[in-house]
Amino acid sequence: MDEEMLLSASKAGDAGAFNSLVERYQAPIYNLALRMVGDSGAAEDLAQDTFVSVYRNLHTFHTGNFRAWLFRIAANACRDYLRSARVRRSLSLELLTENPEFAPQSSEESPEGYTLRRELSGVIQRGLDLLPQDQRLAVVMVDVQGFSYEEAARVVRAPVGTIKSRLSRGREAMRAHLVAQRELLPGHFRSGS
């Protein structure tokens, strides 16, 4: 069933159809929240709140880009969380180590591969934590989630030029952070920095 049909059925009260949409988007929404707040527990709560909020407000969505609308609700939830908690902290490597999400993904993953993936996530998250919220959101949407400039602009309701500016400043800050963390990067990322 395509997205339009799932939306129509969800609006008609079909919880199964709505949960098909949830299944489709839960990983990207959770990852957006995780990269924005840097805490897996809070990211889970924010993702759940997002889908409940979407369900309650589905009648207000008529036409347009559902993905952009969904991500806007998630981004606003993250902003509210960061504002209310006044949290601006970096995710420690210890926390990542204890996080079961970063346990080896399969029995085929080597210990070296697991360590590399964990360190890479830690380096990226610490760099993202250093960015102002608007730059972090632009970087996460475009570079991590693969949004186009236009779609990212629709999510944050800003001109494309604003996204370009935030993205370039965020990338520049990430570049500086990665240069400083060069020894923690995989070999093929060390040379160019």
Partner 1 sequence: MWLTRAKRDTGHPGTELLSCYLDGELRPAALQGVGQHLERCEPCRVDLEGLRDAVALLRAAPLVAPRRSFAVGPEALPSRAWWGVPGRMGQVAAAAAVVVLLLAASPLFSGAGVPDSTGFPVQVGMDRQGTLTTSGGSGPEPAVSLEGPGQVDGVAAGTGAPASGEGPSGGVTAPWSLGLAAMAIAAAGLLWRRLLHQR
Which residues would be at the binding site for partner 1 (CB under 8 A)? 15, 18-19, 22-23, 26-27, 29-31, 34-35, 40, 44, 47-48, 50-53, 55-57, 60, 73, 76-77, 100-102, 117, 120-121, 123-124, 139, 143-144, 146, 149, 164-165, 167-169, 171-172, 174-175, 178-179, 185, 189, 192-193
**Looking at beta carbons only, is 89 or 101 nearer to partner 1?**
101
Report, in Å, the least distance between residue 40 CB and partner 1: 8
Which CB atom, from 66 or from 149, has the smaller least distance to partner 1?
149
Residue with smaller CB distance to partner 1, 65 or 99:
99
Amino acid at 74: A
The least distance separating partner 1 from the CB of residue 80, rounded to whole angstroms, comes to 8
**32, 38, 77, 91, 190 from 95: Cα distances, Å:** 18, 10, 23, 7, 25
With beta carbons less than 8 A apart as the criterion, state whether 28 and 145 touch.
yes
Q: How far is the CB of 176 from partner 1 (least distance, A)?
A: 9
Query: Rounded to an integer, what distance in angstroms lies between the CA atom of residue 76 and that of residue 151?
Result: 16
In the complex, minimum distance from the CB of residue 72 to partner 1, in angstroms, rounded to a whole number: 10
Three-state SS string over 43-70 comes to HHHHHHHHHHHHHHCHHHCCCCCHHHHH
Residue closer to partner 1 by CB (options 11, 171) is 171
Q: How far apart are CB 91 and partner 1 at their closest, in Å?
A: 12
Nearest to 128 by CA among 185, 82, 180, 173: 173
